[in-house]
Structure 1
Amino acid sequence: MEILNARDEKLSLEYPCDWSYKLIASEVEALKQAIRDVIDEREHKLSHSKNSKGGKYVSMNLDMLVHNEDDRNFIYEALKAHQNIKMVL
Structure 2
Amino acid sequence: MRKPTQPTPFIQTAKPDISYPCQWEYLVIGTDEQRLTEIIVTACAPMAPIIGRSKSSSGGRYCSLKAVLEVDSEQMRLEIFTRISEHPDVKMVI
Q: TM-score, normalised by structure 2?
A: 0.79
Aligned with 1:12: secondary structure? coil
Aligned with 1:11: secondary structure? coil
Give 1 or 2 for the bigger CA radius of gyration.
2
Structure 1 segment 1-89 matched on structure 2, within 5 A? 11-89=16-94
Gaps of 5+ in 1: none
What is the CA–CA distance in structure 1 between the aligned matches of 2:92 and 2:38, rounded to whole Å?
15
Q: Residues 56 and 71 (structure 1 numbering): CA distance in 2 closer, same or farther, change over 3 Å?
A: same
Give the structure with the higher percent strand: 1
Large movers: runs of 4+ above 3 Å: 5-11
Q: TM-score, normalised by structure 1?
A: 0.83
Q: How many residues are paired up?
A: 85
Residue 33 of structure 1, CA deviation: 1.3
For residues 16-37 of structure 1, the C-alpha deviation after alignment (integer angstroms, 9 at most, x for no partner) is 1000000001011110111122
Gaps of 5+ in 2: 1-9
Percent of pairs identical after alignment?
Answer: 28
